[in-house]
């Protein structure tokens, strides 16, 4: 009864404060929201479109396979998907490698490892698959002026026994901080969710970023122009630090989804996947 009372109180509080805290993301209109579970929906999501049907798959600490966890792969990031391919990014506490767990359109799984470059951070925050499924963009934590480009494991790089190489970088014309997820809107545009707690880079914390590429990915460096579209929704019955997580663009109906986890105990009650349309 006591827990039920707390939940009802939080729900009532949200009904009061949410309209006042409504925030617009430039160029996008919020059209709905769904609760994001802390255990298995807290890191990211991807829309997988296949002839057999379409699913939206989430990641969280509770979705890490036991065999990978036992090998030290203790963090999963924001997944990506295109052309029926699906990929999850994993990291571990040492600097041994990064791992990408890939499911082919036929449902089979393979694991690909990438040995770190000498200058590369070991964080593996997200995987974004290009619309043609030939390339995969990955991201590092912290303040960065680049995103990393690999041949898409499974589709372009087919041997999991071989090191997944770095094919190039996206050279950003403006630094970004703590990017938790990106997804392709078009072959030359990425939308990215930043968990930036500082706000000095774009004048706001927790921005939605748009990165326009000079051209489609082709296996070499390409420049990217960064624009902030404004702060993502930060709404909760609790005060404190929100955490912006993964992002997904569903090209079937042009729906953008972004996960925002709530502060403190409210992470269990009012964390949300927000839905936007242009």
The pLDDT score that the predictor gives to residue 81 is 98
What's the whole-model pTM score?
A: 0.91
The pLDDT score that the predictor gives to residue 216 is 98
Taking residues 236-257, report their average pLDDT.
Answer: 97
Do residues 266 and 238 lie in contact, with contact meaning Cβ atoms separated by under 8 Å? yes
Mind listing the pLDDT tens digit for each residue in 162-215? Answer: 999 999 999 999 999 999 999 999 999 999 999 999 999 999 999 999 999 999
For the chain, give the DSSP string.
-HHHHHHHHHHHHHHHHHHHH--PBTTBEEEEEEE--TTTSSSEEEEEEETTEEEEEEE-GGGS-HHHHHTT--EE-B-EEETTEEEEEEE-SSSS-EEEEEE-TTS-EEEEEEPPPTT--S---BEEE-TTSSEEEE--SSEEEEEEEEEPBTTTB--TTS-----EEEEEEEEEE-EEEEEEEETTEEEEEE--SS-TTTSSSSEEEEEEESS---SS-EEEEEEEEEEPP---SS-S--EEEEEEEETTTTEEEEEEEPSGGGGGTS-EEEEEE-
The pLDDT score that the predictor gives to residue 24 is 64
The pLDDT score that the predictor gives to residue 96 is 84
Mind listing the pLDDT tens digit for each residue in 72-124? Answer: 999 999 999 999 999 999 999 988 899 999 999 999 999 999 999 999 999 99
The pLDDT score that the predictor gives to residue 20 is 31
Domain layout of the chain by residue ranges? 28-277
The CATH class for the domain spanning 28-277 reads: mainly beta
Mind listing the pLDDT tens digit for each residue in 126-156? Answer: 999 999 999 999 999 999 999 999 999 999 9
End-to-end CA distance of the chain: 42
Mind listing the pLDDT tens digit for each residue in 42-82? Answer: 999 999 999 999 999 999 999 999 999 999 999 999 999 99
Mind listing the pLDDT tens digit for each residue in 210-236? Answer: 999 999 999 999 999 999 999 999 999
| pLDDT tier for residue 11 given thresholds of 50, 70 and 90 | very low
The pLDDT score that the predictor gives to residue 23 is 52
């Amino acid at each position: 009864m006591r827990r039920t009372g707390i939940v009802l109180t939080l729900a009532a509080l949200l009904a009061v404060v949410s309209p006042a805290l409504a925030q617009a993301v430039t160029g996008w209109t919020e059209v709905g929201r769904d609760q994001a579970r802390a255990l298995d929906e807290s890191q990211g999501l991807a829309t997988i479109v296949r002839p057999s049907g379409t699913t939206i798959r989430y990641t969280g600490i509770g979705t890490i396979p036991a065999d990978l966890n036992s090998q030290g792969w203790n963090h999963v990031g924001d997944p990506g998907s295109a052309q029926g391919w699906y990929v999850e990014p994993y990291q571990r506490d040492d600097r041994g490698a990064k791992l990408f767990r890939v499911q082919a359109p036929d449902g089979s799984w393979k694991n690909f490892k990438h040995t770190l470059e000498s200058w590369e951070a070991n964080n593996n925050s997200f995987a974004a698959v290009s619309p043609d499924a030939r390339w995969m963009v990955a991201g590092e934590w912290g303040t960065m002026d680049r995103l990393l480009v690999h041949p898409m494991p499974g589709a372009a790089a087919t041997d999991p026994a071989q090191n997944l190489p770095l094919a190039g970088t996206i050279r950003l014309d403006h630094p970004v901080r703590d990017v938790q997820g990106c997804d392709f809107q078009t072959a030359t545009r990425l939308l990215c969710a930043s968990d930036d707690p500082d706000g000095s880079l774009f004048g706001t914390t927790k921005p939605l970023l748009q990165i326009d590429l000079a051209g489609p990915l082709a296996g070499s460096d390409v420049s990217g122009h960064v624009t902030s579209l404004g702060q993502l929704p930060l709404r909760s019955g609790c005060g404190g630090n929100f955490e912006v997580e993964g992002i997904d663009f569903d090209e079937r109906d042009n729906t953008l989804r972004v996960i925002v986890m709530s502060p403190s105990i409210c992470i269990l009650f009012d964390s949300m996947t927000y839905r936007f349309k242009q």
